[in-house]
A and B are shown apart, each in its own frame.
Chain A
């Protein structure tokens, strides 16, 4: 089975600033993979390269085996994405946002409506389909964005810090929702975050620091490997963050 995402030797710079340096990583289908790194580590840049918002001039990025440079259409067909910033149209209704996205993927109107209804039911917002986005809470908007990202049935889902700014309950709901998608739908998920409490021991963790991948391993294995008590400790050990700064290391 093809990996959901393969990144090999990808570097990217903005002028003289090296944002990514020879990044290698893999996300398998049916795997929840956390991209862990502090702000400025290069997570959003990596997402922009995978989604083809920037061009990768070095290395290769493949989604389900499709090279995003040479087979961008097939790669993007297999890709769902939830960006860090809100990308829904606040003046349109929930349903209009979902069907607009479906149209951008060339889906027939009826299929789009059916899938939108199914996704809204799944996230518990079926009764809000006609409401404008601006009438929803932050957590509900995030769930709509996840629903939207899944309408075209991608096999890789990218989420760029999707829980930032949400309350604890909303965060937990979104994390468990995405985990369920992985377990029951076989999605490959790359979840960028700097919040370690969203991860558990089974998760595959990629530590990105200053544009470099320091390691990719199961969270439990990382803790063992570093001899630390928890994932924050393992992260600090890997990135060389000093103990007094540990509490703020990932903030």
Chain B
């Protein structure tokens, strides 16, 4: 195949033309493009969607059924009556979906860096903090779709929060999604190679999930080990789960919300620092694509 004779349009790289400043609209188009690409990627990877749903559903259908008889739950906030174990762990499983989604985004960033795709993102004239924030928002949007499908299936399984809860949980999901996505971004700047991602499973996802209130009330944990109880309290994921738990029952939990917002700011700040060419990990390591 031969290349057509070149007849560039009138505005091709003319020496006199200055590019217009990007402005707010340009930034929004950039963010829209990043979200759109993530959505396309998500649609192309249907198995990722299925895997993201199967994981918490296995916990709900099998694990929770088995533990229902073993674990008695007293009445604790936000619940107003005795609840089944399935009802208790549902918010934790929602958190699990977002936790895995955040780590999946991190994996995708590392993959992009190894494959070289990230270079095309980072040479955008839009500031890097905005690019990373857009990536974060895109990841949260994907996690919201996963969570609501899970909640719909869970309702069939008699996990029935008040209907208003599906609305009030939305801001909580956005906050927890941002926090876990920001953590994923930070980790993606630290992970040198794709192979190291297994370490993330062992050292981040599992400890965060099990050292939290996702599967058991913290009071129960305190009875078993005060030290583990304290560690659970230091775990940001605990507060994300409690934020979701309360919001799903249309009750605010300002303490959890504050902690989640603060952790999001810290993780995002560190991620932006790490991706800054003059300060962060990329400069020390040799840039994206050199992992």
Contact = CB atoms under 8 A, between A and B. Distances in A.
A177 B7 CA distance: 11
B55 interface: no
Interface residues of B, number: 52
A43 B274 CA distance: 25
Interface stretch (A101-109, A190-198, A199-207, A223-231): A101-109
Interface stretch (A150-158, A213-221, A238-246): A150-158
B220 interface: no
A100 B282 CA distance: 24
Nearest to A93: B40
Contacts of B17: 153
Q: Which 6 A-B pairs have the closest CB atoms?
A: A103-B33, A106-B26, A55-B278, A85-B116, A104-B124, A180-B6
Interface in A34-71: 48, 51-55, 57, 69
Given A81-B119, A104-B124, A124-B3, 13 more contacts: A52-B123, A53-B123, A53-B289, A72-B125, A73-B125, A73-B127, A77-B19, A87-B115, A96-B37, A100-B37, A101-B120, A104-B30, A186-B13
Q: Indicate the member of B9, B124, B125, B283 with the most A CB atoms within 10 Å.
A: B125
B15 A100 contact: no
Contacts of B288: 53
Interface string A99-137: 111111111110000000010011110000000000000
Interface string B1-39: 111101111011111010100110111011011101100
Given A91-B41, A123-B4, A55 B13 contact: no
Contacts, number: 163
Given A74-B125, A89-B37, A99-B33, A181 B8 contact: yes
Nearest to A73: B125
Nearest to B121: A104
A164 to B, nearest CB: 14
A14 B208 CA distance: 35
A181 B7 CA distance: 9
Interface residues of A, number: 63
Contacts of A81: 119, 123
Nearest to A158: B123
A187 interface: yes
A184 B7 contact: yes
A20 interface: no
Q: Indicate the member of B4, B34, B127, B288 with the most A CB atoms within 10 Å.
A: B4
Nearest to B1: A124
A124 B4 contact: yes
Contacts of B46: none
A148 B120 CA distance: 10
B122 interface: yes
B277 interface: yes
A184 B8 contact: yes
A92 interface: yes
Nearest to A83: B119
A55 B8 contact: no
A103 B35 CA distance: 11
A53 B27 contact: no
A177 B3 contact: yes
Interface string A148-181: 1010111100000000000000000100110011
B125 A83 contact: no
Contacts of B26: 105-107
A100 B31 CA distance: 10
Given A122-B3, A184-B7, A106 B125 contact: yes
B11 A53 contact: no
A51 B123 contact: yes
A126 to B, nearest CB: 9
B3 A92 contact: no
